[in-house]
Amino acid sequence: MTTFRSNGKLLITGEYVVLDGAISLALPTKFGQSLTVEKASRSGLYWKAYNNKNEIWLDLFFEIDEIVSKPNTSSSSKTDSEEANLLKILQTAHSLNPDLLQEANGLKVTTNLDFPKNWGLGTSSTLINNIAQWFKIDAYKLLALTFGGSGYDIAAAQHNNAFTYELSNEISNILNVSFDPVFKDELFFVHLNQKQNSRESIQHYRAQSKADLQNNISKISGLTSQFLTCGSLKEFELLIKIHETIISQIINTPKVQSELFPDFSGAVKSLGGWGGDFVLATGKEDAKDYFTKKGYNTIIPFTEMAL
């Protein structure tokens, strides 16, 4: 029996423009996903996925022949999206390392999430990184051939500390950094009670005008450096507001604070795709009461989220 584990992710700066080379700040999370592989007594691949409450949310069976078929050419009649996506990932992983399943007969694979699926911390990226570890292949390549994206979430899956991420000519430049603000006790993450589809967010971004994009990328890269060095909460809140204004203009979408929390005294910043998942908020304990009174009950302090 072999077990692999990957960390979840949060993108603190550079959402959307990370795709076009902005230097962005990412945090691996204490929450993640594990994958265990063991031999099965019967032929085929038996797949069970458990959520954070130890409940099965996916219970599948694949013939080994289905996986060793070329991606997208399997004669399988499976149409469920979760099942089809998983099959595509496995087929692609096999194409990158055909030797792993060469002598496989029966396999049992079990995955376990540390966090609710709708949190947006990387159910897919942690899965891809775990499968890449299992197949001994490049996780970035597996991502590119399946879901796509900047790859920062794969970097988060593999790192145990904060880092900056820059995508340049399809090469991931990763620099480990220290992100331990003296005011971290006044930072917390609030879940917006809905899941944001990353691929739809990317499509929306790609559809927007790219006027002045390079200038804005330079501004976001500069803000990332300032996020790492600022020494006061007041300065941090100002950086949030500037960052939100730039991204709002790029993607032609209102800022989350303007839309949902206009009377909040602190600052609120979207993380990743706008419109769902977690936001970063600032303030003392009483600030959290503001969100619970509005029905946002999943509130996680910075120190309990960041790895």
pLDDT tens-place string over residues 267-279: 999 998 998 899 9
Alpha helices in 117-255 (DSSP H): 123-135, 139-145, 152-158, 198-206, 213-229, 233-251
What integer pLDDT is reported at residue 75 of this predicted model? 44
Residue 248 C-beta-side C-alpha neighbours within 13 Å? 14
Place of tokens 């993380």: 271
Mean pLDDT lowest among 6-10, 11-15, 99-103: 99-103
Q: Does the pLDDT value for residue 221 go beyond 90? A: yes
Residue 73's pLDDT band, with cuts at 50, 70 and 90, is: very low
Which amino acid makes up residue 114?
A: D
User: Which whole-number Å values give the CA distances from 303 to 68, 223, 226, 280, 307, in the listed order?
Assistant: 43, 22, 21, 13, 8
For the chain, how big is the Rg over CA atoms in Å?
20
Which amino acid makes up residue 43?
A: S
Q: Please choose, from the candidates 38, 45, 56, the residue with its C-alpha nearest in 3D space to the C-alpha of residue 93.
A: 45
Token pair for residue 63? 């013939």
Residue 90 vs residue 196, higher pLDDT: 90
Domains and CATH numbers, the chain: 2-175 (3.30.230.10), 178-305 (3.30.70.890)
Q: Does the pLDDT value for residue 130 go beyond 80? A: yes
Q: Does the pLDDT value for residue 96 go beyond 80? A: yes
Residue range 132-149: average pLDDT? 96
Average pLDDT over the chain reads: 94
What integer pLDDT is reported at residue 76 of this predicted model? 46
What integer pLDDT is reported at residue 77 of this predicted model? 47
Residue range 66-85: average pLDDT? 68
Provide the whole-model pTM: 0.93
Q: Could you write out the DSSP letters of every residue in 91-135?
A: HHHHHH-TTTTTT--EEEEEEEESS-GGG-S-HHHHHHHHHHHHH
Residue 302's pLDDT band, with cuts at 50, 70 and 90, is: very high
What integer pLDDT is reported at residue 30 of this predicted model? 98
Sign of the four-CA dihedral 228, 233, 238, 244: positive
Token pair for residue 205? 């971004």
Q: Is 96 exposed, middle or buried (0-12, 13-18, 19+ CB in 10 A)?
A: middle
What integer pLDDT is reported at residue 71 of this predicted model? 60
Place of tokens 């000519």: 169
CB 301 within 8 A of CB 185: yes
What integer pLDDT is reported at residue 72 of this predicted model? 54
What integer pLDDT is reported at residue 199 of this predicted model? 84
